[in-house]
């Protein structure tokens, strides 16, 4: 394991929703390969029968009552971070085209 | 005026009318005006807010409330917030061009708590973009220089949070520690910092980096001040379900034992750092504390585990920045954010998930169990924060992996969720700050504070700021 191909770097940039230039692809290919090579050291450890850890609190299923709190955002506050507003909503690019 | 370097002295001066809070703010702003441009510490200076709050503080003091310091434990304490803490109505950039013009609609829990405790916000300070880095050089707004020596990095990612204190532009600051991001800069600036237990302090309103590791962390000049800030910011807020209230009145233990994890001393340790920590160990022994060697065999894999778990969580957390609801386009991300997003997508992607992400989560269990077991033998661990003293600007920027390895001794605490108190101790022969860290079991913050205070007393510790 270790060396990433240019096609793999292209693939993960697509998964990451990042548009990269050809120059960036080459730069990241080298840097990511080196990092992946290093983290591949984990393959030398036997981890059979070990449960994975995703968090360290030991807490599970923390609930709260489903209540409307008085200090919720107004529509205006919720939209304050963008300029792409239409009729009080976020305006986004179309995700479907007419033919489909 | 001479600006005091502790909360207690600051408050005594205010209450005894040696100076007003407005005069105090004047003095800090004067230093910010003089040195900030050069050192690149504050990204936003909140002069108006600082004066407004200072006037409030002066009014409160005028009311002769005998309980004033109980009601406002951080009364008159100036604060610099790492620029990933949301502050209502005040620009919050995360050190990234993506959020260059972002104005939050609400403040984070910790910001609110400090505000309610009487803290005075001086502004928002520089950091590695999205808290990705160990040196501060990944900030899209340029590196923060180390006030102790401007050829050197201030440490990251909470670079401005530390430099704001060592240059005396603020009395305390907040940062975050996902893998050493508070302990490194604190050590590199001759300051005290605490990375609390995961789940001790709310992360609400802090821009997320890696959600299972991020800890809101304070910096100050003394252990007492760190304790005072921790008391003000900890506890449940109803907005971060990982947070639990902790009991501070556990009886203090006698016959304390400290462990020295031998794996932390085996590789890549600079000789000055090594000799200095051995001197620190001798001081604990002199205090009558038993110090013994212990082993954490899996800790050598901690940074690999970290560089799988963290980018995986980064790739998910940064996916929300699509330029629709807030912020600029994804093309505005800097190189380090792009690298981490891609690395995360890679280790989570079909065909690699088992070999990397699942494997790392299993190794995290191994590391966590070893750490838990060690605390059956000893009450705390002593270790270096980082393998080297502060390094020069540009020294590690060409090779991301070398930079990542700066955090090799920090990762264990974050992966296992335990608290770590970093303390300043001595300087290198080049007059750069040195220090070390004490780690303890989950929610053992007050034991660490006691140890830290004993150490300060024995070494006759005095806060120091850089000569500018």
Interface predicted TM-score (ipTM) of this complex, two decimals? 0.93
Residue A84, CA distances (Å) to B98, B104, B325, B329 in order:
16, 17, 8, 13
Please list the pLDDT of chain A residue by residue as tens digits (100 residues). 568 999 999 999 999 999 999 999 999 999 999 999 999 999 999 999 999 999 999 999 999 889 888 878 899 999 999 989 999 999 988 888 776 5
Q: Does residue B181 have an active-site annotation?
A: yes
Parallel, antiparallel, or unpaired for β B420-427 and B192-195?
antiparallel
Count CA within 13 A, CB hemisphere, residue B312. 21
| CB proximity list for A11: less than 8 A, separation 6 or greater | B349
Q: Which domains does chain A have, with CATH numbers?
A: 6-44 (1.10.20)
Min Cα separation A36/chain B (Å): 8
Do residues B176 and B184 touch, judged by C-beta distance below 8 A? Answer: no
Classified as helix, coil or strand, B456 is helix
CA dihedral B303, B307, B313, B319 (to 10 degrees): 150
Classified as helix, coil or strand, B323 is coil
Choose the catalytic residue: B173, B181, B217, B416.
B181
Mutation to test the A interface, candidates B93, B304, B319, most A Cβ within 10 Å: B304
CB-nearest to B363 from A18, A38, A45 is A45
Does the beta carbon of B366 lie under 8 angstroms from any beta carbon of chain A?
yes
Q: Does residue B304 have an active-site annotation?
A: no
Q: Residue B249: its pLDDT value, please? A: 60
Q: Residue A97: its pLDDT value, please? A: 78
Is B417 within 8 Å of A57 when comparing Cβ atoms? yes
Does the beta carbon of B307 lie under 8 angstroms from any beta carbon of chain A?
yes
Q: Which chain B residues have a beta carbon less than 8 Å from that of A55?
A: 198, 212, 242, 417
Q: Residue B246: its pLDDT value, please? A: 84
CA-based Rg of chain B, rounded to a whole angstrom? Answer: 21
Min Cα separation A78/chain B (Å): 8
Q: State the Cα–Cα distance between residues B207 and B202, nearest whole angstrom.
A: 12
Q: Which domains does chain B have, with CATH numbers?
A: 7-255+420-458 (3.90.1300.10)
Is A19 within 8 Å of B330 when comparing Cβ atoms? yes
Residues of chain B predicted below pLDDT 70: 248-253
Which string of DSSP letters, residue by residue, matches B245-304? Answer: -----PPPPSS-EEEEEGGGGTSS--HHHHHHHHHHHHHHHHTT-EEEEE--GGGGGHHH
């Amino acid at each position: 394991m270790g060396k990433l191909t240019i096609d793999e770097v292209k693939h993960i940039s697509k998964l990451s929703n990042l548009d990269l230039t050809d120059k960036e692809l080459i730069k990241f290919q080298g840097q990511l390969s080196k990092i992946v090579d290093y983290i591949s050291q984990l393959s030398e450890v036997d981890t059979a029968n070990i449960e994975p850890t995703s968090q360290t609190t030991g807490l599970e299923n923390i609930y709260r009552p489903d209540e409307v709190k008085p200090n919720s955002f107004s529509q205006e506050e919720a939209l304050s971070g963008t300029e792409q507003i239409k009729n009080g909503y976020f305006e986004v690019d179309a995700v479907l085209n007419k033919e489909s | 005026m001479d600006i005091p370097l502790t909360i207690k002295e600051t408050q005594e001066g205010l209450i005894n009318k040696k100076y007003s809070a407005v005069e105090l703010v004047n003095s800090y702003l004067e230093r910010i005006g003089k040195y900030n441009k050069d050192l690149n510490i504050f990204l936003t200076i909140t002069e108006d807010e600082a004066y407004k709050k200072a006037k409030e503080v002066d009014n409160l003091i005028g009311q002769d409330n005998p309980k004033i310091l109980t009601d406002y434990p951080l009364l008159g304490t100036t604060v610099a917030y790492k620029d990933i803490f949301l502050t209502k109505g005040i620009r919050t950039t995360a050190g990234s061009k993506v959020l260059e013009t972002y104005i939050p609609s609400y403040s984070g829990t910790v910001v609110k708590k400090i505000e309610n405790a009487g803290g005075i916000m001086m502004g928002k300070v520089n950091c590695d973009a999205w808290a990705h880095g160990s040196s501060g050089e990944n900030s899209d707004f340029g590196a923060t220089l180390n006030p102790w020596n401007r050829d050197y990095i201030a440490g990251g990612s909470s670079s401005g949070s530390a430099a704001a204190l060592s240059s005396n532009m603020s009395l305390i600051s907040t940062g975050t520690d996902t893998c050493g991001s508070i302990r490194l800069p604190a050590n590199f600036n001759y300051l005290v910092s605490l990375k609390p237990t995961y789940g001790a302090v709310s992360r609400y309103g802090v821009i997320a980096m890696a959600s299972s590791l991020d800890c809101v962390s304070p910096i100050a000049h003394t252990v007492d001040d760190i304790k005072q800030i921790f008391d003000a910011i900890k506890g449940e807020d109803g907005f971060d379900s990982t947070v639990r209230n902790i009991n501070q009145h556990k009886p203090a233990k006698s016959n304390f034992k400290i462990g020295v994890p031998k794996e932390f001393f085996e590789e890549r340790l600079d000789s000055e750092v090594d000799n200095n920590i051995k001197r620190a160990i001798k001081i604990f022994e002199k205090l009558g504390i038993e110090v013994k060697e212990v082993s954490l065999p899996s800790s050598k894999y901690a940074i690999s585990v970290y560089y799988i778990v963290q980018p995986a969580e980064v790739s998910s957390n940064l996916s929300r920045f699509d330029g629709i609801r807030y912020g600029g386009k994804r093309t505005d991300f800097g190189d380090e954010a792009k690298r981490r997003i891609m690395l995360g997508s890679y280790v989570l992607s079909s065909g690699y998930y088992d070999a990397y992400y699942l494997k790392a989560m299993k190794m995290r269990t191994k590391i966590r169990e070893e750490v838990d077991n060690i605390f059956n033998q000893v009450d705390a661990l002593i270790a270096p924060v980082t393998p080297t003293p502060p390094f020069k600007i540009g020294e590690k920027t060409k090779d991301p992996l070398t930079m990542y390895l700066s955090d090799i001794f920090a990762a264990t605490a974050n992966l296992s969720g335990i608290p770590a108190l970093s303390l300043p101790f001595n300087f290198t022969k080049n007059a750069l700050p040195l220090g070390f860290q004490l780690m303890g079991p989950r929610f053992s913050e007050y034991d660490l504070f006691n140890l830290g205070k004993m150490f300060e007393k024995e070494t006759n510790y005095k806060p120091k700021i850089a000569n500018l």
